A and B are shown apart, each in its own frame.
Chain A
Amino acid sequence: MYFFLQVAVSGIAAGAIYGLVAVGYSLTFSTTRTFNFALGMWVMLGGMLTYCLNVQMGLHSIIVLPAVTALLFALGLLAERISVYPFLRAGNDLWVVSTLAVGFLLIDFAEIIWGRGQNSVPPYFGDEPVLLWSISIRPQQLLTIATVCGIYFGLEYFYRRTLSGKAVRAVSHDREVSSLMGINARRIEALSYATASALAGLAGFLIVPITGAEPHLGTGIGFKAFAVATIAGLTAPRGILLFGLLYGAFEGLVSGYFYPGMRDIIGFTLMIVALYLRPQGLFGQREEERA
């Protein structure tokens, strides 16, 4: 039982990261019906920038956090303009490939700037495990879980209580009509991409003290986050965050009890089966197809 809880809790901490990235897929998907196929590479970029600012330049993590998210936000805007917008307007699926291409560029740039090796980043709040009901949790994991809870309630507040949140929901529902109502749909599209990148950057910031910073850090995370997003339902951001935690726990248990190598195989197979059985996702609403 003790082992079970221990494994599950560290799994949940990893799952929080998936949830964070997966929400990014959901944000852009609901506003544009597209997403950044290489969002995982943006997690890596966030992690690398964290290493650069925190370790190489010696800045305090309190400053690094806003700096990294702001940088990623700005770069996300730029990347949307370059790799998504042209294809969005042309109405084809080639943004799948163009966002992947940008992701490849990011990996190689990171390799050239920071090298191929592991760069370690010290934990932001020390490495002394906290004991909670005799389960030891690293402060870094607590921070991650706390951040995701914060994002969850933030999203809740944003969508339900703010005017911009309502505008986002309106655009997700019907872009054309919301444009006619005076909502700047184009701005919302661009901002959703920027926010997705910022969230990915935040995930990178949170994960590097655990995994270390290296150029291929985000690839697997990005695809697994997508698995989380689709199984939960791309149009249900809060469901995604919850399911992210669950998925993380599941991964932890598979690795703990079974065999770590099976983790991805089972996870991705689940994604394929889930998409087959329930294309709109566990928490998603089915969209009626109109002829």
Chain B
Amino acid sequence: MILHSQARFAPLVFLAAVLAVAPLLLEGTYYTHLATSVLIYSIAAIGLNIIAGYAGQLSLAQAAFMAIGAYSAAFASKSLDGVPLWLRGGLQPWLGMGVGIILAALAGGVLAIPVLRVRGPYLAMMTLAFAWIVWKILLEWVSVTGGDLGISSIPKAQFGSIELDERGYYFLALALFVAVLFFQNRLISSQFGLVIRAVKYGELAVASAGIDVRRVKFATFVISSAVAGLAGALFAHQQSYINPDSFQVFDSVFILLAVLLGGAGTMLGPVVGTTVLVVLPEMLHEFAKYRLIVYGGILLFALYFLPRGLVGEMLQRAIGRRERGPGKPYVALKSETTQNVFEVRGGSLYIEHVSRSFGKLLALNDVSLRVERGTIHAVIGPNGAGKTTLINVIAGVYPSDGGRVVLDGAQMMSKSLDGAARLGIIRTFQNVKTLGDLSVIEHVLIGFAGKEGLRLGRSLFGSRRRGNEWLRQWDKSRELLSSLGIPHHLQEAPANDLSQGHRRLIEIARAIAAGPRVLLLDEPAAGLVADEVRNMASLLRKLREGGMTIVLVEHNMEFVRSVADIIAVLDHGEVVACGLPKDIVTDERVIASYLGPSDATS
């Protein structure tokens, strides 16, 4: 979406200012304590928002990571009791926080390994099981955690020799809250953040650009847990007494509820959601009795009537009014390179005796093809002939049972889609995979991210020069899209709003951006109208002239004949014919098995 502009900092600064002044106007510690709670749970919710909101992985373990942070901070701070005051004062809240963050991040990393192998409901259940395990350990490991009774008399946070009172602690929490909020914004508006958002909508499409999706999810999961660890450490010092009751499975659901209510995948959503959910009970009498009804009711209401959450719906309205413009203030950099976007160094692809079977079905039987550099090689054949399987084997989606694929003289060893893509084999999909509400240009940026490689550290803490590199990628993406015939005014629109023809082009643009040596196109002309088919044909010819090697699976014979240098005919998993287009269309076996007599005479 187009919401990641500098202008979004303005409400943030305003919010921070209001929050900074508010407690000075309030009497007594009750409201200050409540406000601190809002800030602490907001931090946890922001952490969850990164993994659940932006990356779309519904995790139900956030309270467990908070628990790890809280208990570690409590241990660390209490262990400082024997240390002389002057030294302890300097370490007091910080040591605990550091330990809490690190241990929560470690736990997140360990849990991420099994969790990231599964998806959707399995992931939710696995994280829930983890939350249950942590809670049980807190209860049962009495000698360390104190069991039911928890840990009491956790020292107050100190600044030097000054012990922070309720108000002082509020300011500490506020400072950390603002830092976390800025961290979220910086992460999400970076290249890495773009990939995180893309993963939510389609892992295959992201992997096909050469990005290791599992690594991205791993990093996101660890970040999210680390933030929860910070929230937990703050919680421990605020309460000065913690026990397992605060970190039950329900509390994880509560944090997820806050994210969903406020708006998953929006910057301020988790803060708004948390504020509502923490403050609401204070306003209701006998709340404890109806707690689950109130939360369950709010949750159902939000899911039905505010599917984007409070903040998400507001943004949606705002965008509707402005008709999706003007979006990111775009500053064009001077492009030093005016090189033709189509100029690439294609590779040669030799497929040697490749076989693949599914159970008893032999989908590919000893298939060999030689695709020379800078040529277009079409593979045709009836449905079920094994065309898509062939693409999948070349692109690393399935391993082959026998034979090998040789790219530029080197055998392809990669066993995954993203690995093959990094070697330069980039594919598109028969069913166009556009990514949710990502804009057209962001799709192309995903391609560039795959080519240039992802650097989390650089994304987060990179210098200004690096920032310029990111802007340069925007430039290149624009140029690429324009030369593919997608006008500027469509480039900021969500890709899902565009026509099938345009979406095919977007997919090809993403593939080109990912830096292919061989482009695998799975039915690029399917679903296009006649004009668009001609347009596609001329695009492919242009790519070939630039040096690209293309392997093409297609049913539209007219289209194939207009672009292909070589046509291979696949039937029942075997190459029945391979040669120049004019020879293929008159080959009797091909006519019999695929084209039918009428096509040959046309």
Contact = CB atoms under 8 A, between A and B. Distances in A.
Given A93-B58, A93-B121, A279-B118, A101 B128 contact: no
B296 A108 contact: yes
SS of B interface (majority): helix
A93 B120 CA distance: 6
Contact of B392 (A98, A104, A109, A291): A291
Given A104-B293, A226-B125, A273-B114, A291 B397 contact: yes
Contacts of B204: 291
Interface string A265-291: 100110111011001000000001001
B385 interface: no
Given A275-B114, A279-B117, A291-B204, A98 B133 contact: no
Interface residues of A, number: 41
A109 B137 contact: no
B140 A262 contact: yes
Interface in B401-444: 429
Contacts of A98: 299-300, 303
A265 B140 contact: yes
A264 B132 CA distance: 8
B304 A261 contact: no
Given A227-B129, A275-B114, A276-B117, A264 B303 contact: no
Interface string B465-490: 00000000000000000000000000
Interface residues of B, number: 45
B290 interface: yes
A96 B137 CA distance: 25
Interface string B347-361: 000000000001000
Contact of B122 (A94, A101, A109, A275): A275
A159 interface: no
A97 B121 contact: no
A10 interface: no
B296 A101 contact: yes
A86 interface: yes
B321 interface: no
A275 B130 CA distance: 13
Interface string A106-126: 011101100000000000000
A35 interface: yes
Given A223-B132, A276-B114, A100 B300 contact: no
A37 interface: yes
B129 A96 contact: no
Contacts, number: 113
B250 to A, nearest CB: 8
A109 B72 CA distance: 37
A144 interface: no
B388 interface: yes
Contacts of B132: 223, 264, 268
Contacts of B293: 104-105, 108-109
A268 B140 CA distance: 15
A197 interface: no
A142 interface: no
A100 B140 contact: no
A288 B358 CA distance: 9
B139 interface: yes
Contacts of B392: 291
Interface string A167-191: 0000000000000000000000000
26 contacts: A35-B121, A37-B125, A94-B260, A96-B58, A96-B121, A97-B299, A101-B295, A103-B296, A107-B292, A108-B291, A111-B289, A223-B128, A227-B129, A264-B133, A264-B136, A265-B137, A265-B140, A272-B111, A272-B115, A272-B130, A275-B117, A276-B118, A279-B117, A279-B118, A291-B397, A291-B429
Interface of B: 58, 111, 113-115, 117-118, 120-122, 124-126, 128-130, 132-133, 136-137, 139-140, 204, 253, 256-257, 260, 289-293, 295-297, 299-300, 303-304, 307, 358, 388, 392, 397, 429
Given A269-B129, A271-B129, 14 more contacts: A86-B304, A93-B58, A93-B120, A93-B124, A94-B260, A96-B120, A97-B253, A100-B253, A105-B293, A105-B296, A108-B293, A262-B140, A268-B132, A268-B133
Interface of A: 34-35, 37, 82-83, 86-87, 93-94, 96-98, 100-105, 107-109, 111-112, 223, 226-227, 230, 261-262, 264-265, 268-269, 271-273, 275-276, 279, 288, 291
